[in-house]
Structure 1
Amino acid sequence: MKKPAETLSESKVKFINRILTDIQAFMSDQPEGRYLDLLDDDVLPQYSDAILILSQYDGALSGFRSRYYGYVPSAHEITWRLS
C-alpha cells in the first residue's frame, strides 16, 4: 500500500491527466464540470492529493449518472434518459 505522503511519478500523472482531460471535456456543460481539476504535473502531487482530485471526478460522474440514468416510464425499463 502506498503512503499518502509519497509522490506520484511523472508518467503516472501524465497518464491520469490524459483520462481526466477527456472527462473534463465530456462534463464541461454539466454543473459539476467547473470543479474538475487536473493533477499538477509541474509539482508532482502526493497520493493523497491525487485521491482528492479523483474523488471530485467520482462525485461528478455519479451526479451525471443519477441525473441521466434511471427508470423511464414510457419505456418501462431502466435506461439512459435522453430527453
Structure 2
Amino acid sequence: MRSTLGVSALALLFIGGLWLVAAPFAVGYQPRGDEWTDATVNDVWVGGLLAGGAFVALVAYAADALRELARRGRHAVDTTH
C-alpha cells in the first residue's frame, strides 16, 4: 500500500511539473514571440525541477523493484537445486 501511494504521489508530481512547464504556453499568458515574463521563467524552472526530481525518483524506484525481482528469482533458482 505504501509503495503504491508513493509511486502515485511521484507520478502526480511529475505530471504537475510537466504542466507547470507547459502552462504558460498552453493557457496563453506567455505571448508567442515575446520575451519570457518572470512568471514564465519561474514556471519553467520550478516545473522542470519538480518533473526532473520526480522522474529520477521514479526511475530509482523502478530500478530497486527490478533489483528485488532479480534477487528473488536468483534465490528461487538456488533453492531448487
**Which bin holds the TM-score, normalised by the shorter protein?**
0.3 to 0.5
Question: Which structure has the higher relative contact order (CA within 8 Å, separation 6+)?
Answer: 2
TM-score by length of 1: 0.39
Higher strand share: 1
> Which protein shows a greater Rg?
2
